[in-house]
Amino acid sequence: MVKVTIDDVQIEVEPGTTILNAARQIGGDVVPPAMCFYSKLPGTGGKCRTCLVEVAAGSEKDPRPMPKLMASCSTQVMDGMIVKNKTSERVQEGRGGVVEFLLINHPLDCPVCDQAGECNLQDLGFQHGGAKTRYEEERRTYDPIDIGNKIKLHMNRCILCYRCVHVANQLTDSRVHGVLNRGEHAEISTYIENAIENDFSGNMIDVCPVGALTDKTFRFKSRVWFLKPMDVSCECTKCSGKAVAWMFGDEIYRVTARKDKYGEVEDQDGKTGWICNDCRFDKKDPAKWNIEGPRKINRHSVISQGHYQSPRGNSQKKIN
């Protein structure tokens, strides 16, 4: 086992563990944000740079600090390593610069974006973003396109995290979309509209950290904080059949995979619980599902904030 200290909290982890995963074992504010890393998709990480941390001591054998901020999602821990995240001014300053960079071309269309309330970039913009922009050049703009019969792509919002590309590489037999061009001209595209037809393409929506990929069956129907997430299951021959139905009254507005507190799809029966397009897009009739009960959303989201602190004592009162 390897001992590592993150924000003055020491933990023992397996050799080869990354700083980010070690921080997730600790939990709380110690965990750096991650926009491109996705533990259920091997090969992700190292692109968005929001998980940068300061390594104050490389190891017990070599306690010298690393001169630059390191990407915690791709840097493995060493025995005796000391890491600073929330306790480092360099990290906070660097993370603010990364957020400013991500927002250069990102439109401020949260009021009309279906991802509002669940958006990682929205949270980062609130925590590290500036009140004004220093950017003077013309923003990069694209028209929304259909990359599948049920998926709308808003390239203006994309931060090129590559998660959707990894989904296509690892969940499907043939990939028909990816990153075209280079540099500031790089974009996610299929080259031919409506080219994505595989049964698990909808999982690209679940892994997208922003509102670049949206569900056309849910588009502009409601805000997530107006809906009640319910754990549901069904007999499905293509996937686990275990999902979350977002309901308004007795009507299902959308269906998503079950996610953990980091916004990643949970494991079901020892495998990642990806859901098929039939369950996601076509089963909107509550009679087709076995409704198990309310879903507790424990990740950072407005959906989990439906309570107020009681003025007397430490008890919490649920407001319905």
Q: What is the pLDDT of residues 217-250, one digit of tens each?
A: 999 999 998 999 999 999 999 999 999 999 999 9
pLDDT at 298 over 80: no
Do strands 81-84 and 2-6 pair parallel, antiparallel, or not at all (unpaired)?
parallel
pLDDT given for residue 318 in this prediction: 39
Alpha-helical runs (H) found in 161-272: 163-171, 203-207
Average pLDDT value for residue range 47-59 = 94
- Its pTM stands at 0.86
Q: What is the pLDDT of residues 133-181, one digit of tens each?
A: 888 888 888 999 898 889 999 999 999 999 999 998 898 877 788 888 8
Strand locations in the chain, DSSP E? 2-6, 9-13, 52-57, 70-71, 81-84, 145-148, 151-153, 178-180, 187-189, 213-215, 228-233, 242-248, 251-256, 267-268, 271-272, 290-294, 307-309, 316-318
Burial of 112 (0-12, 13-18, 19+ CB in 10 A): exposed
Please state, for a pLDDT cut of 70, what percent of the chain lies above it: 92
pLDDT given for residue 202 in this prediction: 92
- Helix, strand, coil in percent for the chain, rounding step 5: 20, 25, 55
pLDDT given for residue 126 in this prediction: 87
pLDDT given for residue 306 in this prediction: 53
Residue 317 tokens read as 């009162």
pLDDT at 84 over 90: yes
CA distances from 293 to 32, 231, 275, 297 (A): 32, 6, 19, 13
Is residue 132 very low, low, confident or very high in pLDDT (cuts 50, 70, 90)? confident
User: Which residue would you say has higher pLDDT here, 311 or 173?
Assistant: 173
Q: Which of 319, 256, 261, 252 is nearest to 285 (CA)?
A: 252
Burial track 265-275 (b if 16+ CB lie within 10 A, e otherwise): beebeeebbbb
How many whole angstroms separate alpha carbon 10 and alpha carbon 22? 10
Residue 58 tokens read as 């490389």
Average pLDDT value for residue range 38-59 = 94
pLDDT given for residue 134 in this prediction: 86
